[in-house]
Amino acid sequence: MLKYIEGGVCAAQGFRAAGIHVGVKTHAAWKKDVALIVSDVDCAAAAMFTTNVVKAAPIHVDRKHLADGKARAIVANSGNANACAPQGEENAIKMCAAAAKAIGCAPEDVLVSSTGVIGQTLKVQVIEEGMPALYEALEHSVEASDAAAHAIMTTDTVKKEVAVETVIGGKTVRMGGIAKGSGMIHPNMGTMLCFLTTDCAISPAMIRAALKEVVSKTFNRISVDGDTSTNDSCIVLANGLAGNAEITEQGADYQAFTEALMTLCTELARKMAADGEGAKHLITCTVTGAADEKTAETVARSVISSTLTKAAIFGADANWGRVLCAMGYSGAEFDPEAVDVAFASAAGEIAVCEQGRGLPFDEDLAKKILTEHDVEIRISMGAGSGAATCWGCDITYDYIKINGDYRT
């Protein structure tokens, strides 16, 4: 019943998007740097933001604008984070006002996001001057979502865009999203902007509950480099145009909505982890047999965040001792002598540790397995039924190159 479709943030009924170049950071006309997503009608809205104590100005503005659980549009720029910058909140408010004027809604019904260099004054005037053209570019199309997805990219090498379709309350419901994230990615959340749209009818309270549940098991389970950004934002808008009975409580319809949202966000999270700055491998760490889910998540997070484990995967080195080491300092309580570890990929699977002790294994096969782009670390803890999956990537020479001159 649940299936992937095209369209990104324009997959759902009543949503239009656009992305253009206005010159926030560079004069290169090919680099889109401002995006706009607009619903034809008011939406139930919710968001999750960075846990970093240092928060960018747009987050403070969005918290105020979301007080009533409603919104109509999202405006976002790349090239400047508008964090720890002069006139930060003032400029974020100006972005909302410019978008609201073009759309014909209240500024409080517009949410705002920024991503890029921290500490520099946002050239808000170029965004204000470019807003009429941005609004005119709005379309309900695959191409429009693509343009918006590219406009929020920074060091990303590929766009992140997904859409799904399901049935809720007898009505076809569509849900789509775009995201950016490549570096400064570490729970909770990754350096990420994620904008989700759906035509499902759902109350602000229930969409907030669903988003909180899903983010905890998707975006909060990825890590690239151990740095948590100042700007992380995951925003969802639901305009109700699918015509289903409004979801106002837990039940079958809420479960179907959450399942679709989980599928959407899991795929976007995987895309972000795979596109870690300079990355050559997507690392999936699946932990089973833990005492409970929290223990499994703690262990999996520690493993995919381990710099030494990342380096081992980069070198296709089956150095499973680094996995056990990362488990050991995770803070989770477990019996090391009950742990099994295996590496797997499209090239096969190989057990390297059993009951906390090393196994003899074929080094050539292990290298072949770890040379694949998608690599899985499978851990069995022999303690219970708790399970969790986290995603990360390897660390490469290119990560240093990219971040050594990020501002230029």
Q: What residues act catalytically? A: 191
d(CA 301, CA 273): 13
d(CA 31, CA 22): 9
How many C-beta atoms lie closer than 10 Å to residue 335's C-beta? 12
| Cα distance between residue 34 and residue 31, in whole Å | 10
Q: Is 79 helix (H, G, I), strand (E, B) or coil?
A: strand
10 Å CB burial of residue 141 (0-12, 13-18, 19+) is middle
113 with 74: CB under 8 angstroms? yes
Structure tokens at 263: 């599928």
Residues 47 and 70: their CA atoms lie apart, in Å, by 11
Q: What is the spatial distance between Cα 247 and Cα 257, in angstroms, rounded to a whole number?
A: 9
For helices 252-274 and 204-217, angle between their N-to-C axes, nearest 10 degrees: 40
Of 408, 226, 190, 404, nearest in space to 303 by CA = 226
- State the Cα–Cα distance between residues 176 and 365, nearest whole angstrom: 39
